[in-house]
């Protein structure tokens, strides 16, 4: 079972991900800022991180830089999710279907989830991602 760490100052946005992704068997962790997320990532070693960018204590970019400096965490894929500023960007909270499809693409497929969501109908290009060389495509 893959573990996903959800990092956001908004409890309602974290709850949305917990509710959505929890239905598909992922183990879900949550943190309210980058500092808390870094500590949690060190102890829990998540398979994927979904993070806001603008956060107190440790913003998303600094969080990822520190994550990449840790040998055990350097290859963990990170999805940045942030508020939209342009009409063409994805709003926050994101489209649930697209969020699930992106998680499938990064963590590997789960047939029941793929059958349900039909990933070919969504474009992953609408998300801000911080891929690594070991990220599954």
Q: Which of 68, 81, 63, 77 is nearest to 107 (CA)?
A: 77
| Structure confidence by residue, pLDDT tens digits, 55-113 | 888 988 999 999 999 999 999 999 888 765 444 444 555 566 666 666 767 776 543 43
User: Alpha-carbon distance 13 to 95, whole Å?
Assistant: 12
Lowest model confidence (mean pLDDT) among 5-9, 15-19, 45-49, 131-135: 131-135
pLDDT in tens, 5-35: 999 998 988 998 888 888 778 899 999 999 9
Structural domains of the chain, with CATH:
3-130 (3.40.50.2300)
3-state secondary structure of 43: helix
Q: Are strands 48-51 and 78-80 parallel, antiparallel or unpaired?
A: parallel
């Amino acid at each position: 079972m893959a573990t996903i760490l959800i990092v956001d100052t908004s409890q309602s946005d974290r709850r949305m991900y917990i509710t959505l992704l929890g239905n598909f068997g992922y183990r879900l962790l949550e943190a309210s800022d980058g500092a808390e997320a870094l500590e949690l990532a060190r102890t829990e070693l998540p398979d994927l991180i979904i993070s806001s960018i603008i956060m107190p204590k440790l913003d998303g970019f600094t969080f990822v830089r520190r994550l990449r400096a840790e040998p055990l965490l350097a290859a963990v894929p990170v999805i940045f999710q942030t508020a939209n500023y342009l009409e063409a960007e994805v709003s926050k909270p994101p489209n649930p279907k697209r969020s699930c499809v992106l998680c499938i693409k990064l963590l590997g497929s789960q047939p029941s989830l793929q059958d349900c969501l039909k990933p070919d109908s969504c474009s992953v290009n609408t998300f801000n991602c911080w891929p690594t060389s070991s990220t599954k495509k």
